[in-house]
Amino acid sequence: MSPRTSPVVVVGAGLGGLAAAVHLAAAGREVTVVEALDEPGGCCGTARVGAYRFDTGPSVLTMPGVLAEVFGAAGEELRRWLPLRRLEPSYRLVFDDGSRLDVLPEREAMAEQVRTVCGPAEAARYERYRRLLDELFRIEWPTFIDADMTRLRGLARPAALLRLAALGGFRRLDRLAARHLTDPRLIKAHTFQALYVGLSPRHALGIYAVIAHMDTVGGVFFPERGGMHAIPAAMAALLEKLGAGIRYGVRASKVETDGGGVTGVLLADGGRLPATQVVVACDRLAARRLLPARADDWRLRRPRHSPSCLVMHAGLDRPPADQAHHTLHFGRAWRETFTALAAGRPQPDPSLLVTCPEPDGEAAPDGHATLSVLEPAPNLRRAADWDRLRPEMEARLLGRLATLGYGDLAGAPRMVVDPPAWAARGHSAGTPFALDHRFTQTAWLRPSAVTRRVPGLHFAGMYTAPGVGVPPVLISGRLAAERILKEAR
Ligand SMILES: Cc1cc2nc3c(=O)[nH]c(=O)nc-3n(C[C@H](O)[C@H](O)[C@H](O)COP(=O)(O)OP(=O)(O)OC[C@H]3O[C@@H](n4cnc5c(N)ncnc54)[C@H](O)[C@@H]3O)c2cc1C
């Protein structure tokens, strides 16, 4: 069979797998996606509790252009499939002293916010820091984020590395921000995003300041209807239109190979899908069971996982007053948060991410609303005693939410997802945030997206570069598809 026409199998219909499949199908390849769950999305899932519908994963979309590119590959316009609205504010940050800062995407509006909350001198510093973020982003995007780290020519970018070093990209993130900003609240507003890559701002590299660029400068978006899960639902619908197959509710049990490389995928229901190329787009450690020993990657010898989270979803009988979509409540012990998580303990005074989407007429009965709270928590490698921890954390969380003004949610329809529940969904170490992004698990040092010893075997998703988050995994899917399409020439 010619590699140009031979079938491709994608294991996992998370956003990474779906993106790979769309790019391949749009290029005319025969594609089948195999998904263990009964619906697409993986982490970007959905759940119902009584009359309420919740997003179980991401609560906002950044860099919508990356998603638009996936639809564009198929000649489609994202806004026709999935109208998005920009959220204002992008975030509301509430500090332990009761003060708050709304993060607004427009430069002038944000500078005005900073002027009001932190004073005019800090506003001037903010404007300079924002210019630095712009420059870091401009350098990093083509060299480290939207770039294939499996190719040798991707390795040598001396000019970019030198410029990043000069800008402070290889210092620690907290030091980089503190060199430019002085108000601790503004520093937090630009460094808390280190949590998204599983690290404390004291340990994350300054290059990760670009995450603050993506959300504080680029803005955050949300589908007009259907919540975040509307994203994978639209991608799966696009795949159907392109003629690709998606097999839900069946697990891939083995990637078959012979001396020449990949030959097919065996399914847990006894079926077999022939393929000369496979994209494995699921938890990379769990996927070892599917793969021949020679597909092992030395970068996975000592995997360092991100912390996990405990998420509580609750149905509300009325929307909270004056509530932003996304509110970050900082606890008093912000620094200790990271030490505690690394030592396997809950945060001493939890910082919480509260999401309260504007009702879209479908997620809750008329006049009602939904609320989801994410509390960073230790992963299962760090803390094992979840029979004890879970009720303790849940009770403390309910108390904290009541203190913060969300009311008594003890009797509300609720659902809690803790690290053992993430593990039961297939996430190794009980964390849905994969490996953290320390230097030794970044860019070329993250597990490789190809294994040259098994021709035709590719990887996508958050375990590969560029890493965790919706835009990065969409990019990883496109990169896998591009490599496959090149192999076929
Ligand atoms: C609570 C939470 C909040 C988040 N918030 C944000 C946010 O606000 N913004 C943001 O950008 N990112 C956020 N993220 C991160 C982002 O959602 C993830 O990084 C991304 O969705 C991961 O996609 P993926 O395709 O790599 O993996 P996954 O979503 O894990 O998909 C892998 C898929 O493979 C399937 N699978 C596994 N094994 C097999 C098998 N053997 N056979 C068949 N199928 C298999 C799984 O069922 C799953 O559907 C959040 C994540 C979580 C959990």
Quick: pLDDT tens for 258-283: 988 999 999 999 999 999 999 999 99
| 357 within ligand 1 shell (Cβ under 6 A) | no
Q: Is the dihedral of CA 479, 248, 285, 292 positive or negative?
A: negative
Q: What is the DSSP string of 97-112?
A: TS-EEEE-SSHHHHHH
> What does the alpha-carbon distance between residue 433 and residue 199 come to, in Å, rounded to a whole number?
11
Instruction: Map out the domains of the chain with their CATH numbers.
Output: 8-44+63-84+226-303+434-487 (3.50.50.60), 109-219 (no CATH), 306-430 (no CATH)
| C-alpha distance from residue 406 to each of 199, 326, 411 (Å) | 29, 14, 13
Is pLDDT at 152 greater than 70 in this prediction?
no
**Of 55, 87, 282, which is best to mutate to test ligand 1, by the most ligand atoms within 8 angstroms of its C-beta?**
282
Contact 9, 21 (CB under 8 A): no
User: Quick check: CB of 34 below 6 Å from ligand 1?
Assistant: yes
Q: Is 35 in the pocket of ligand 1 (CB under 6 A)?
A: yes
User: Does the C-beta of 11 come closer than 6 Å to ligand 1?
Assistant: yes
Query: Would you give the DSSP letter of residue 243?
Result: T
Is pLDDT at 487 greater than 90 in this prediction?
A: no
Helix or strand or coil: residue 332? coil
pLDDT at 427: 98
Chain segment 16-43, per-residue pLDDT in tens: 999 999 999 999 999 999 999 999 999 9
Nearest CA to ligand 1 atom 5: 58
| Residue keyed to tokens 């509260």 | 354
CA 230 to CA 395: how far, in whole Å? 32
The pLDDT value given to residue 335 = 86
Q: Does the Cβ of 468 fall within 6 Å of ligand 1?
A: yes
Other beta carbons within 10 angstroms of residue 368's beta carbon come to 16
**Residue 219 above 80 pLDDT?**
yes
Evaluate: CB of 197 within 6 angstroms of ligand 1: no
Residue type, 422: W
Q: Determine whether the shortest distance from the Cβ of 281 to ligand 1 is under 6 A.
A: yes
Binding site membership of 235 for ligand 1 (Cβ less than 6 Å)? no
Pocket test for ligand 1, best of 15, 39, 43, 210 (most atoms within 8 A of CB): 43
Is 3 a residue whose pLDDT tops 70? no
Separation of 458 CA from ligand 1 center, angstroms? Answer: 17
Taken as a whole, the chain contains a residue count of 489
Inform me whether the pLDDT recorded for 455 exceeds 90: yes
Task: Point out the ligand 1 atom lying closest to the alpha carbon of residue 45.
Answer: 29
